[in-house]
């Protein structure tokens, strides 16, 4: 059986595993990678871009190498190959955890428990929850759902389709490194520069696919495209901009504005400001459902692309192996 079909079976079962089971409660591979990356940081850290680049190369390269070694180890067994892709997909995709945390915050807000919602918000994003009222928390949740649909689901599926298990593990490693050291704090402004730029590159295709699929699956496709075209470039992140703008247009809401991170105030541009309304608590559930639809569509698109690419390669190989006619 062709490798592209084995990958497809594994990716589908892996995403179903995430939908049905969620993340493992203990011993999550991403947490293990985080601990390893932290140990490497303790050995390498200096306030220097070169040291940070080595850190990113060692950690992300190690994840890719591990995936490649695992693929080689099972390449003769179709069953083991499917199982490996399934396990890798399940480990790196975090759609169920994202939706579960968003809905937990939403239920707390619906019950009037703003303090409980503030306590849960750090599970989704790094905002200062004490500075937010109920609608501010709801907006933070919707923005986090949008951005993490790309980072935790679609981006991983894209790189899995491109690079198999090494692509899956490499993308999750890069994304995790960015979350650990890629922010603009005094400690990581230079050291985390390489991880942040690498994450921008790795996240580029997944973010655009997420924006397209949000427009397709949302309540207002034209509004999503309009907001994407008008506002995405205003966002400081080259990847969060298209995703959040498309989600804002698809849901008919306004995202962006004043944010507070670690006591630092940021004034970000408003996305879909001309056509959208302020986010309210009920929009959390709408965003969660849109995230689910986008994830399933992304699975279909990436698996179909992988199979089509495999057929094209097989067709070219068959054409090269055809015997040439003799000419006299």
Domain span at 33: 3-321
Question: Secondary structure of the chain: what % helix, strand, coil (to 5)?
Answer: 75, 5, 20
Asked whether residue 319 carries a pLDDT value surpassing 70, the answer given is no
Q: How confident is the model at residue 55 (pLDDT cuts 50, 70, 90)?
A: very high
Residue 8 lies in a domain: yes
pLDDT of residue 138: 96
Asked whether residue 303 carries a pLDDT value surpassing 90, the answer given is yes
Task: With beta carbons less than 8 A apart as the criterion, state whether 225 and 248 touch.
Answer: no
Mean pLDDT of 123-136: 88
Which SS3 state, helix, strand or coil, does residue 260 take?
strand
Asked whether residue 259 carries a pLDDT value surpassing 80, the answer given is no
Residue-wise burial string across 115-147, b where 16 or more C-beta atoms lie within 10 A, e elsewhere: eebbebbeebbebbbeebebebbbbbbbbbbbb
Task: With beta carbons less than 8 A apart as the criterion, state whether 129 and 110 touch.
Answer: no
What is the C-alpha separation between 244 and 248, in angstroms, rounded?
6
Total residue length of the chain: 328
Asked whether residue 215 carries a pLDDT value surpassing 70, the answer given is yes
Mean pLDDT of 302-322: 82
pLDDT of residue 265: 73
Q: Dihedral of CA 250/179/10/72: which sign?
A: positive
Residue 326 lies in a domain: no
pTM of the predicted model as reported, rounded to 2 decimal places: 0.92
Task: With beta carbons less than 8 A apart as the criterion, state whether 190 and 182 touch.
Answer: no
Closest of 282, 235, 250 to residue 134, by C-alpha: 282
pLDDT of residue 193: 96
Q: Which residue has the higher pLDDT, 33 or 183?
A: 33
The one-character DSSP state at 151 is I
Residue 277 lies in a domain: yes
pLDDT of residue 76: 94
Residue 235 lies in a domain: yes
Q: Which residue has the higher pLDDT, 327 or 43?
A: 43
Asked whether residue 217 carries a pLDDT value surpassing 70, the answer given is yes
pLDDT of residue 64: 98
Mean pLDDT of 175-197: 93
Residue 30 lies in a domain: yes
pLDDT of residue 130: 86
Residue 327 lies in a domain: no
Mean pLDDT of 130-146: 93
Mean pLDDT of 134-158: 96
Residue 15 lies in a domain: yes
Asked whether residue 326 carries a pLDDT value surpassing 60, the answer given is no
Q: Into how many domains does the chain fold? A: 1
Q: How confident is the model at residue 257 (pLDDT cuts 50, 70, 90)?
A: confident
The one-character DSSP state at 270 is P
**Chain mean position to CA 148:** 5
CB proximity list for 51: less than 8 A, separation 6 or greater: 44, 45, 191
Q: Dihedral of CA 253/196/176/93: which sign?
A: positive
pLDDT of residue 317: 67
11-44 pLDDT, tens digit per residue, is: 999 999 999 888 877 778 899 999 999 999 999 9
Residue 328 lies in a domain: no
- Joined together, the tokens standing for residue 278 give 């302020």
pLDDT of residue 74: 96
Q: How confident is the model at residue 307 (pLDDT cuts 50, 70, 90)?
A: very high
Which SS3 state, helix, strand or coil, does residue 263 take?
coil
Q: Which residue has the higher pLDDT, 22 or 58?
A: 58
């Amino acid at each position: 059986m062709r490798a592209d079909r084995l990958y497809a079976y594994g990716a589908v079962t892996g995403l179903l595993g995430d939908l049905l089971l969620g993340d493992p409660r203990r011993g999550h591979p991403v947490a293990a990678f985080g601990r390893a990356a932290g140990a490497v940081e303790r050995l390498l850290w200096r306030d220097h871009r070169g040291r940070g680049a080595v850190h990113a190369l060692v950690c992300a390269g190690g994840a890719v190498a591990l995936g490649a070694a695992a693929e080689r180890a099972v390449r003769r067994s179709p069953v083991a190959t499917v199982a490996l892709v399934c396990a890798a997909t399940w480990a790196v995709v975090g759609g169920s955890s994202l939706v579960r945390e968003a809905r937990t915050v939403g239920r707390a807000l619906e019950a009037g428990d703003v303090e409980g919602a503030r306590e849960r918000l750090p599970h989704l994003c790094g905002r200062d929850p004490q500075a937010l009222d109920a609608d501010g928390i709801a907006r933070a949740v919707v923005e986090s759902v949008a951005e993490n649909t790309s980072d935790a689901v679609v981006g991983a599926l894209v790189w899995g389709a491109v690079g198999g298990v090494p692509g899956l593990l490499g993308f999750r490693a890069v994304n995790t490194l960015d979350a650990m050291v890629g922010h603009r704090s005094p400690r990581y402004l230079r050291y985390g520069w390489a991880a942040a730029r690498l994450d921008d590159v790795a996240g580029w295709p997944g973010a655009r696919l997420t924006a397209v699929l949000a427009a397709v699956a949302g309540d207002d496709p034209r509004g999503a495209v309009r907001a994407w075209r008008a506002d995405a470039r205003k966002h400081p992140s080259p990847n969060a901009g298209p995703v959040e703008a498309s989600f804002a247009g698809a849901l008919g809401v306004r995202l962006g504005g004043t944010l507070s991170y670690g006591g630092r105030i940021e004034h970000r541009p408003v996305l879909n400001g001309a056509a959208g309304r302020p986010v309210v608590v009920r929009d959390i559930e709408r965003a969660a459902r849109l995230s689910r639809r986008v994830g399933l569509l992304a699975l279909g698109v990436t698996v179909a692309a992988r199979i089509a690419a495999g057929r094209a390669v097989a067709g070219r190989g068959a054409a090269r192996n055809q015997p040439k006619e003799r000419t006299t």
